[in-house]
Structure 1
Amino acid sequence: MVKFEEMTFENIMELMLNSVSDELDKREGSLIWNALSPAASQVALLYTWLENAIDLVFYDTAPDEYLERAAAPYGVLRKQAAPAVRLIKGMDDNRNVIEIPTGSRFFIETENVYFKVIPSTNTQQLVECEVAGIVGNSAFSKDTILSLDNIYGLAQVEITDIVIPGSDIEELEAFRSRFFAKIQKDAFSGNKAHYKIWAEEVSGVGKAKIYPLGYGDGTVKIVITDAELQPASDILVQKVSNYINPISQIGEGTAPIGAKVFVESAVWKTIEISGQLSLKEGKSVNDVIEEITPDINKLFKSITFPENEVTSVKLAVISNIIFSAPSVLDNFNIKLNGEAANIILGENEVPKLGAFSFALI
């Protein structure tokens, strides 16, 4: 069996020259060598292309476009970048709330992006970023919001809470995992894995946990986070519910006929951290907090809704993060929510970093 990596120019030339009579001059630079050399170069290039082509068509190595094309016939589509949807509030000179016409546009100077007011089903008004992706999730002050329309009575605008986070195109390996779950028959006929796939393929959803018989016979409880692995908004919860089971038990969505589906948001579990620190010269508690906050937030995201295991915030891991901070010499008596113990998260809970309380020694 030919190994593609062995089909180099040198090896191909050797094979070709071996088929020529030894009575002829085959040395490098000879007429025969010069005649065979261009062909050997092109054949070596073809073997390189062939090796790459095989990687393109096998699911475990296929890159972006090719995996998308392979998954499409199975009904598995890659989640595209989605725009952020946020709350907007318009006020007059007396700070009375006024209605902003649907379609009104606003420009955010600091992010160089536009938002447009979209229809809303409740009293709070919504805007959608005109650019898909996480850029619409950025924090910005009311002073950087410019109205592009003449709106009667509008004196001040605030774009506040994120209702549905903007998200970039689904990461390739996450998409590959969803695809494998489908074709390897882990998900079929409305089983637990199938509900997980349905929930997580909705744009704006990060992770989902499935609880069969969550509220009795014939029921399925689905708990979701948003794309930022934070509790989902009511609008996103309704979006998932409409996709899976818009009318209970009728089978109009992806769920089988007869299923009663309950979609819920994850809820925060605030984790407060306290303890005693010995710091390097010239360092402060604020330095430590600034250093450890990104690592703790990264840890919390990594333990959000893991597969088939109880989630806990481990005291030893938090203590190690603090000890490893550049400003810290040593740490003592680290506690989580006042206890020197791990915190077991409830089935709907995701961890959120709360206040720090450090004393110096």
Structure 2
Amino acid sequence: MYETITPESIKQAILSGLKTDLQTNEGSLIGDLIGPVALELYKVYQSLNELAPMVYVDETSGRFIDQRCAYYGIRRKQGQKAETAVWVSTEGSVTVPKGFVFTTASGLGFVTQETMTIMSGSGASIQVAAEEAGARYNVAADTITGMRSPLQGITGVTNPAAAQGGTDPETDAELVNRLYAFLQKPATSGNIHHYEQWALECPGVSAAKVSAGDQAGSVEVLIAGSGMQPVDEEVKNACAAYIETQRPIGATVTVKSAAANTIGVTATVTLAGTAALEDIVKRFRERLAGYFADIAFTANPVSYNRILYILMDVDGVKEVAGLLVNGGQANIQNAENQTPVVGEVEINGQSFDTEIR
């Protein structure tokens, strides 16, 4: 905001306002007196730069985001830990202590929530919770099959059911969006914005769409998680339970998860030689996910031309040929309950030199 202000510019402004015949050049008494004052004033201007992110917060405002949100009673969602049960098979009697860590092949840890003594040959089910909050711990069934450290007597472990309920901590961008939704969409007396606000207060919910149900007094709340992905049953049920504690008397509320409209993309690109194909695919997927998030819960279809533009705009891409979106070259319409999500992306690359030969 004050990038053009420097100690020298402040000094010159002060000198230009003086009406004196005394020497004001560098090394003079007046010059030496004004110099330190100009430096201190410069520091004040620099500190004023902190005001903009404090008052007009965005996702780059750092600690001021939480401070500004706290003024309105909005707290950052910390995320939740996924939970499931593991079946532990043993040889002989084994005591599995509370805090023992079972793992997936990728190293994700799940901690036992109780001490369990398993009698010889019987096996037992033990409740476990993820070491950390996060959706990445919502692992599929039969994937928790290892141990962080060996425990004599355990011959096998698996999770018969998928781990559920893990949600990511709210990002700066998500928290800012929730703040501005709170400010720009006044929530009163159980109106649509009130239901949106209640849904967004729930861990694991990053977006909500509210509409009237088929019956008088009924309300339907469609929710999505981070990146506009569908949420699992645990998040959906927790959201419904929370809204029940907030809603007006007489309203009938149904909470549903958005369904995924998976969009696959294939294309051949001519490489400009400024980026590797793997990096191009990664950046394309990221930008595609951002575009899908922007149009989720709107009437806008997934635009074939917009996807073509996104791919063409990736650094390292010179030309695009044979772009197919879900096997065709047309826009993809989302149903009322759908959000688009990135599916399989297959990009084949050829060098520019190869093409022109």
Matches within 5 A, 1:152-163: 155-158=156-159, 161-163=162-164
CA displacement at 1:231 relative to structure 2: 2.1
Q: Percent identity?
A: 23
CA displacement at 1:310 relative to structure 2: 1.4
- In 2, distance between residues paired with 1:10 and 1:199? 54
CA spacing shift, 1:332–1:39, aligned 2, 3 Å: closer
Residues 142 and 158 in structure 2, CA contact (< 8 A), matched pair in contact too = no
- In 1, distance between residues paired with 2:130 and 2:32? 62
Query: 1:116 aligned to 108, 111, 118, which one?
Result: 111
- In 2, distance between residues paired with 1:279 and 1:74? 49
Residues 301 and 331 in structure 2, CA contact (< 8 A), matched pair in contact too = yes
Structure 2 residue 28 is the aligned partner of structure 1 residue 38: no
CA displacement at 1:208 relative to structure 2: 1.8
1:106 is matched with which residue?
101
Matches within 5 A, 1:1-361: 7-18=5-16, 22-49=20-47, 51-60=48-57, 63-80=61-78, 82-92=79-89, 103-106=98-101, 108=103, 114-117=109-112, 127-133=128-134, 136=137, 145-146=146-147, 155-158=156-159, 161-171=162-172, 173-211=173-211, 213-245=212-244, 253-271=245-263, 295=284, 299-300=288-289, 302-304=291-293, 306=295, 309-318=298-307, 331-332=321-322, 334=324, 336=326, 341-352=330-341
Q: The residue matched to 1:155 in structure 2 has which SS?
A: strand
Residues 228 and 341 in structure 2, CA contact (< 8 A), matched pair in contact too = no
CA displacement at 1:322 relative to structure 2: 7.5
Count of matched residue pairs: 329
Residues 111 and 130 in structure 2, CA contact (< 8 A), matched pair in contact too = yes
CA displacement at 1:29 relative to structure 2: 0.7
- In 2, distance between residues paired with 1:329 and 1:44? 50
- In 2, distance between residues paired with 1:293 and 1:24? 66
CA spacing shift, 1:58–1:216, aligned 2, 3 Å: same
- In 2, distance between residues paired with 1:332 and 1:16? 66
Residues 11 and 35 in structure 2, CA contact (< 8 A), matched pair in contact too = yes
Question: Greater shift after overlay, 57-66 or 342-351?
Answer: 57-66
- In 2, distance between residues paired with 1:288 and 1:48? 43
CA spacing shift, 1:104–1:20, aligned 2, 3 Å: closer
Give unpaired runs (5+ residues) of structure 1.
95-99, 246-252, 282-286
Residues 140 and 163 in structure 2, CA contact (< 8 A), matched pair in contact too = no
2:351 is matched with which residue?
none
Q: Deviations over 1:74-93 (max 9, x none)?
A: 2222223x244154432427
Question: Greater shift after overlay, 59-68 or 322-331?
Answer: 322-331
Q: Deviations over 1:119-154 (max 9, x none)?
A: 9xxxx9764322334664689995873156959765
- Give the structure-1-normalised TM-score: 0.70
Residues 86 and 128 in structure 2, CA contact (< 8 A), matched pair in contact too = no
- In 2, distance between residues paired with 1:288 and 1:6? 42
Q: Deviations over 1:208-266 (max 9, x none)?
A: 2212x223111111122233532211111111011111xxxxxxx22222221111122
CA spacing shift, 1:13–1:354, aligned 2, 3 Å: closer
Query: For residue 336 of structure 1, what is the amino acid of its counterpart?
Result: N
Q: Deviations over 1:256-280 (max 9, x none)?
A: 2222111112223344668xx7788
